[in-house]
Structure 1
Amino acid sequence: MPLIKPPTPLSKPSTPQAASKQVPPFIQCPRPTWVADKSDWLQITSPTHFTNFDICPDCYNASLKPAAYARLISPAPPRPEGVSTRCDFSDLWIRVAWAWLYSQGAPDLTLLGQVADVQDPEGTCPNLAQKESGHEGSEKPSATRTWYCLTDPKTDGLIEDMTVCSDCVSHIYTVAPCLRDIFAAAGCSRQVLATCDLMVPNEARTLKYLDQFINVAEKTMETGTRDVTPLTDFVKKWATVPPCRMFERVQGEKCYTLATQAPEWTICEECYITHVHPLHASSPEPRLLSQISASSHPPPAGFACQLYSPRLQQYFQDAVSTNDLASLRQKIMARDRKLQETMQELERLKMQLAQQNMQIKSHQQMALINQQSALSSSLAWQVSSGWIKPTDFSATNASMSQATQIAIQADMTTASIRQLEKEWADFWE
């Protein structure tokens, strides 16, 4: 966002794909958050042992094992019981660094450890801090700190529509030192209020930006000359355009619609620029385009983008080629009904799962209480009578049995959630 400038005083005062080589695939890491009592962690051990860099087996097998760098990774030493660890390879900056060093043929994995060790004096990126706190949303949090902007080589001025925090700048410079100094401090180097527009909640937009940075870095390494014009042109084009929110309903943003023929068909500005605007150059120009207009009065309840997925884009392409808006409207309305049903059922299942997990925890706690009670009763009998009496764990076993039965039900609920999400992705997304 543009810098949020303070009032005038009365007195003078955003998985990059820039690699030319095919980078081994990334997977959705199963351990992005802290987990304890796992003994199968791996670490980078050569030429430097990064003891604070941990890799889960899934990420290792998918991304690192297929590469020659696997020989530099070894099982991590055993950890004390109860010590929690998270997979560092789940971090987007680490994956950016991995793609970069792989494409550049780096001799080892030192860069991964260097990126993991980045500690910005002003703290982590506000967007990442929000995500790690569990309060992630679609809005970027604002913060008062030092902010940076790209310098436009065409004007020598700062592109203030995109502000980047010092933490993200440090990561970019660490990954690709050849990009150093492409940013300049904004607000006369004072701490001001703004948001980080690079590591944003919408990861697709973040990846597009990072691709541009990596493209500049690659060409700089190839030619020995740095030209940031493609990057700054891209930023100037997209920085003021809100990222697509997909099926999330948004308010107060520009939307495009087929108001008279298919009012249910609403799309965001990003998808209009990406998928619709280029069609105006077609010859002949599709008749449908003349009926699409920017809504001067977006729906009070907000709108959801109907062009963000390949399926929706195919619906639109079919309508463009046939000019059959009735069919487009019918498909969109059917999809909206299915989305509402799916979201309601997902919400019900997730509430059910939360209740089941609470019940499991309650029965487990009761089992501990019953266990302590049984042991105390047995000890009291021994003290008073001098005889050893078998400890009665029947109540403990009953509580554990109840916890196990509900855990089975919770597994079934989890399976239902995954099946519902898969059905939506396979047939409706």
Structure 2
Amino acid sequence: MPLIKQAPPSASSTTTTSTGKPAVPPFADCTRTTFEPGKTDWFQITGIPDIDICPDCYNTSIKPTPYSRFISTASPKPEDVSTRCDFGDTWIRIAWAWTYTQSFPDLSLLGQVAQIAPAEGKCPNLDTENEEVKKGGKPPASRVWYCLNDPKTGELVEDMTMCSHCITHICTILPSLNGIFLPAAGGQQALATCDLMVPKQSRTFKYIDQILEVAEKALDSGRERDVTPLVAYIRKWAPIPVCPKWERVSGQKCYNMASVAPEWTICEECYITHIGPITNPATAPFPRPLILMQISATPSVPSSGFTCQLYSARLQQYFKDACTTNNVADLKRKVGERDRKLVEVKRELERMRAQYDQFRMQAEYHYQMMVINQSSALAHSIGWVGSGWSVPTNTHATNESMNRGGEAALQADMIWANLKALEKEWADDWE
């Protein structure tokens, strides 16, 4: 959320070019991003005990690389200690990707990132207990905010604000970029949002890619960093709302074919990306598809909100087919079928997530009871020592709680696997 809202300028975004750097190994869909007890199969970076890595992340991303020599099996955690996978953290993954592509000699950068603790606290967007964050939004907060400095004008690009947590991470991972982000509002606290690190938004990684490219080009060329492309990119895209994809949003502008297919709605981002090039005389195909004449020339704000019907490769192909055949009815049919399936899938995913959360809570409860029962049984046994009697520790309640916790955790894992299978089915066959 900018401190001073400006009209969207007309600057164009930059094109990422190949740098010849090694491709970063894929990342696992980490299932241990929240704290939980009972896991004994953690990995750690040797000499950096602050980072715990789950087997999935290790086997997928690190094991196939030379950096696996820096990884060792972690010592077992106490039963009452909850742990999460630090490699599921976005900033740790960015540090890992930068380490890998730059062929750093070790993994010390990951340790530096793990120790970051800005005085103002973590990014507001990472507060998983915040209701706005749960909905995928950006909660406003009063703190010191930072903006990219445009060296050509000496002015801050205030369309995009970033928190100290994110800026500290950028400057730790990319020290060559120190100083390109400056405090906004004269360094005074102000109410704004962090527009950089927004979980589950593809725009986040597009911004990060642009920032990484500035650092990489400076290193490769040996010249002074050039933030001009980054300034242009932010000026173009920061004022444009992020594509909502399949989530219905209200109060945002969209384009449609009001007279023939009002239910076919596309967001501003997808209009600029996919419709703009074929309506621009300089890049438009010839002959121009007749269906383009049906699309509204200016965006409007639907009273009932909208979802974007052009964000995925499948939806884009539907539109390309309609451009070729000028068959709006077929486009409406395909989109309608997909929308009905979407309602069905979202309902089932919601049910499965509720079940998953329920079993996770049950597992955590039983594991906590296991620790309590174990302590109680041990205390009872020790109490007999002074009497001269030797009483064995009764582990019945402890074992029962452990078994129930294991059963609940197994149920949660099964539901999670089914949930992911349904998400994959949607992505492969419908999205």
Distance of aligned partners of 1:364 and 1:222 in 2 relative to their CA distance in 1, 3 Å threshold: closer
Match of residue 67 from structure 1: 65
Measured on the aligned residues, the alpha-carbon RMSD in Å equals 3.5
Match of residue 161 from structure 1: 159
Matched, 1:427 2:429: yes
Distance (Å, rounded) in 2 between the aligned partners of 1:124 and 1:55: 21
Q: Do the aligned residues in 2 keep the contact of 1:18 with 1:211 (CA within 8 Å)?
A: no
Distance (Å, rounded) in 2 between the aligned partners of 1:60 and 1:367: 29
Match of residue 328 from structure 2: 325
Distance (Å, rounded) in 1 between the aligned partners of 2:169 and 2:249: 31
Distance (Å, rounded) in 2 between the aligned partners of 1:74 and 1:409: 30
SS in 2 for 1:227: coil
Match of residue 107 from structure 1: 105
Greater shift, 355-364 or 91-100, is seen at: 355-364
Distance of aligned partners of 1:288 and 1:225 in 2 relative to their CA distance in 1, 3 Å threshold: same
- Which amino acid is the alignment partner of residue 284 of structure 1? P
Larger-Rg structure: 1
Distance (Å, rounded) in 1 between the aligned partners of 2:367 and 2:37: 19
Distance of aligned partners of 1:357 and 1:2 in 2 relative to their CA distance in 1, 3 Å threshold: closer
Match of residue 278 from structure 2: 279
* CA drift at 1:312: 0.7
- Which amino acid is the alignment partner of residue 30 of structure 2? C
- Which amino acid is the alignment partner of residue 2 of structure 1? P
Distance (Å, rounded) in 1 between the aligned partners of 2:95 and 2:362: 43
Match of residue 377 from structure 1: none
Q: Do the aligned residues in 2 keep the contact of 1:271 with 1:307 (CA within 8 Å)?
A: yes
Q: Do the aligned residues in 2 keep the contact of 1:255 with 1:294 (CA within 8 Å)?
A: no
Match of residue 384 from structure 1: none
Distance of aligned partners of 1:346 and 1:271 in 2 relative to their CA distance in 1, 3 Å threshold: same
Distance (Å, rounded) in 2 between the aligned partners of 1:134 and 1:194: 14
* CA drift at 1:353: 5.9
Distance (Å, rounded) in 2 between the aligned partners of 1:41 and 1:412: 21
Distance (Å, rounded) in 1 between the aligned partners of 2:288 and 2:327: 16
Matched, 1:312 2:315: yes
* CA drift at 1:345: 3.4
Candidates 323, 334, 339, aligned match of 2:342:
339
Q: TM-score of the superposition, structure 2-length normalised?
A: 0.81
Distance of aligned partners of 1:355 and 1:193 in 2 relative to their CA distance in 1, 3 Å threshold: closer
* CA drift at 1:105: 1.1
Superposition pairs of residues 214-363 of structure 1, within 5 angstroms: 214-223=212-221, 224-280=223-279, 281-293=284-296, 297-351=300-354
Match of residue 2 from structure 1: 2
- Which amino acid is the alignment partner of residue 25 of structure 2? P
Q: Do the aligned residues in 1 keep the contact of 2:257 with 2:296 (CA within 8 Å)?
A: yes
Aligned residues with identical type, % of pairs: 55
Distance (Å, rounded) in 2 between the aligned partners of 1:359 and 1:403: 7
Cα displacement string for residues 107-165 of structure 1 (whole angstroms, at most 9, x for unaligned residues): 11110100111111111111012468995222201111111111123321111110010
Distance (Å, rounded) in 2 between the aligned partners of 1:414 and 1:329: 34
Candidates 120, 123, 139, aligned match of 1:122:
120
SS in 2 for 1:198: coil
Q: Do the aligned residues in 1 keep the contact of 2:132 with 2:138 (CA within 8 Å)?
A: no
- Aligned residues, how many? 395
Q: Do the aligned residues in 2 keep the contact of 1:137 with 1:201 (CA within 8 Å)?
A: no
Q: Do the aligned residues in 1 keep the contact of 2:38 with 2:82 (CA within 8 Å)?
A: yes
